[in-house]
């Protein structure tokens, strides 16, 4: 008995040292992540302040043209915001219903063995590079749409928004399915016990119980659509205009950042500083959406014992 305890003590000491090392390593990774985030935010703030020292904020918010790279410079961010909103709305019209219906099918209708294959197959779509989606929108979707959509330009918001919606369907479907699947089976059985059909149970019991998770997936999808870069850069074009016509070429906030970041604009110039002002605007929009998502989940999350 004594020999066994002597053999066990070094192992316990070694385990404690390993756990302390792993704990410190994970803490270091977390600290680096936080430090990186702080550095990004501070960079945005400093460069944005430098931009607004040269361009009054009222011009940034009220002008209706965006031409920082032209001789007659104008800085109406509303132009880029409107284009971003337009492509995001089109994408959400596609992604939200299809993603939610796919989640309901996986969770409530698909057999367990089928679900184990369908969900990974759906999530494979999320691994497709967005550059591929962009060229698919430009070379396949746009020519197809031009056959029956009059006035559709080669670069347009419609095809970009549609393909963007397809690209974020896995995000909505996966997160919504997790929320629906987590609803206790006892709630379903109780609904069936009072005579409700499967459809009535899903609509009246399951979806309300999973509402916080579903809404959170929707808001994350909105943030994903707003922050998408390559699809809208390739398929929607780089023509900044204040228009809500999905058939014409537009320029989103992320597409403008890509345009300036190509290296043709001198570093430190006013035109170069615009990417930080646009980036800060994009950051504030996504931050607001994430805060709304956090508040909604905290306020309406169902807790089960």
What is the C-alpha separation between 201 and 50, in angstroms, rounded?
A: 56
User: What is the tens place of the pLDDT at every residue in 178-222?
Assistant: 889 888 888 888 888 888 888 889 988 888 888 888 988 898 899
Q: Return the CATH number of 62-300, one of 3.30.1300.10, 1.10.1060.10, 3.40.50.150, 1.10.3720.10.
A: 1.10.3720.10
Helix (H, G, I), strand (E, B) or coil at 21: helix
User: What is the tens place of the pLDDT at every residue in 25-54?
Assistant: 999 999 999 999 899 899 889 989 989 988
What is the C-alpha separation between 239 and 227, in angstroms, rounded?
A: 18
Residue ranges with strand state E in 62-191: none
| pTM, two decimal places | 0.85
């Amino acid at each position: 008995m004594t020999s066994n305890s002597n053999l066990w003590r070094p192992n316990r000491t070694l385990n404690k040292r390993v756990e302390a090392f792993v704990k410190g390593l994970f803490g270091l990774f977390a600290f680096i992540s936080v430090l990186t985030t702080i550095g990004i935010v501070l960079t945005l703030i400093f460069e944005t302040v430098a931009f607004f020292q040269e361009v009054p904020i009222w011009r940034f918010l009220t002008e209706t043209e965006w031409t920082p790279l032209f001789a007659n410079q104008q800085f109406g961010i509303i132009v880029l915001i409107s284009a971003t909103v337009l492509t995001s709305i089109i994408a959400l019209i596609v992604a939200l219903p299809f993603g939610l219906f796919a989640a309901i099918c996986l969770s409530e209708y698909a057999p367990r063995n089928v679900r184990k294959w369908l969900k990974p197959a759906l999530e494979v779509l999320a691994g497709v590079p967005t550059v591929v989606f962009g060229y698919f929108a430009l070379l396949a979707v746009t020519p197809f749409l031009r056959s029956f959509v009059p006035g559709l330009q080669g670069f347009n918001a419609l095809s970009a928004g549609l393909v963007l919606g397809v690209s974020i369907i896995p995000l909505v479907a996966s997160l919504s399915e997790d929320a629906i699947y987590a609803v206790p089976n006892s709630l379903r059985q109780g609904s069936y016990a009072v005579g409700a059909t499967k459809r009535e149970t899903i609509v009246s019991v399951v979806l309300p119980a999973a509402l916080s998770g579903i809404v959170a997936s929707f808001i994350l999808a909105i943030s994903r659509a707003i922050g998408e870069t390559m699809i809208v850069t390739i398929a929607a074009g780089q023509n900044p205009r204040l228009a809500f016509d999905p058939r014409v070429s537009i320029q989103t906030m992320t597409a403008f950042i890509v345009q300036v970041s190509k290296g043709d604009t001198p570093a430190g110039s006013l035109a170069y500083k615009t990417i930080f002002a646009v980036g800060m605007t994009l950051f504030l929009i996504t931050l607001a959406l994430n805060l709304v998502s956090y508040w909604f989940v905290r306020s309406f999350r169902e807790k089960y014992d």
